Structure 1
Amino acid sequence: MSENINNPDAMENQEDSFTASLAQFDEFDDSTRTLGGADEKLNLLKDLQMNVYIELGRTQMQIKDILELERGYVIELEKLASEPVDVFVNNKKIAEGEVVVIDKHFGIRITSLVDPAQRIKDIY
């Protein structure tokens, strides 16, 4: 077959022996079109643990200032006390909230969620 590639006369003779036909495909079962298994897949993810952290604020410091940190030192953050804190899940911002105290423990009351379209965009 490889010797016919460079021979135009041999190619013309071979073209006559080829015939085209329509491709045949199996019919799809309706069960493959439904999302019936999606609930089961989502249930598998419900037990998955993810890292959640709250960012109170940020600042920049020189290395010499970091090396001088001692107990009782106060670090000023760029955010004001009245501003909402950011809630992150696996390094993606998902919400904002306010700090609350519950039985001597800190907590966060969610005040707004990031738009779902933005969350999906951040995944990619």
Structure 2
Amino acid sequence: MSDLQQEFGQSLDLGDLNLNEFEQEETVEGNIRMDIQPDAAPTPGMSEMQKMSLFSRIPVVLTLEVASAHISLAELMTLNNDSVVELDKLAGEPLDIKVNGILFGKAEVVMLNDKYGLRILQFNTKDLGELTR
């Protein structure tokens, strides 16, 4: 047998092998090199202002709903320019503030520099999570 055949015929003794002597390869997860990422220190928690600033650039539609009326299609077809439709709110009653179609508060209409504005009487910011549903 040749020397090479004798070397392969012998069993390997891995007890003397120290894996810490070898250089570690870069750890790659997806496209992120984990070996150059700073260690993420646990943060005690973000303040409410920091949490809200994450969402500050997301546009929403704020509407002021005066009132509504339930009428039949036949009644709708008879309406013309001089028609009056009775609504379901009393004059002077606070109007509904809706954000993306979800009720969030009450307001009254005011005039602001020759434009309409709204004075918020009540606004529920605790239910803003409802906008994601």
| 1:14-48 Cα distance to aligned partner (Å, 9 max, x none) | xxxxxxxxxxxxxxx88224235982x64342111
The match for 1:92 among 102, 106, 109 is 102
The count of aligned residue pairs is 93
Question: Which secondary structure does the structure 2 equivalent of 1:65 belong to?
Answer: helix
Q: Following TM superposition, by how much is the alpha carbon of 1:111 offset from its aligned partner in structure 2, in angstroms?
A: 0.8
Question: Pairwise mapping of residues 101-120 of structure 1 onto structure 2 (< 5 A)?
Answer: 101-114=111-124, 116=126, 119=127
Question: Pairwise mapping of residues 2-41 of structure 1 onto structure 2 (< 5 A)?
Answer: 31-36=41-46, 39=50
Identity %: 24
Distance in 2, Cα, partners of 1:90 & 1:115: 14
Provide closer, same or farther for how the CA distance between residues 113 and 37 of structure 1 changes in structure 2, counting only shifts above 3 A. Answer: closer
Structure 1 gaps of 5+ residues are 1-28
Question: Which secondary structure does the structure 1 equivalent of 2:104 belong to?
Answer: strand
Question: Which secondary structure does the structure 1 equivalent of 2:44 belong to?
Answer: coil
Provide closer, same or farther for how the CA distance between residues 122 and 49 of structure 1 changes in structure 2, counting only shifts above 3 A. Answer: closer
State the TM-score, normalizing by the size of structure 1.
0.61
Structure 2 residue aligned with 1:78? 88
Q: Following TM superposition, by how much is the alpha carbon of 1:91 offset from its aligned partner in structure 2, in angstroms?
A: 1.8
| 1:61-100 Cα distance to aligned partner (Å, 9 max, x none) | 0111111121232221110111000101112211101111
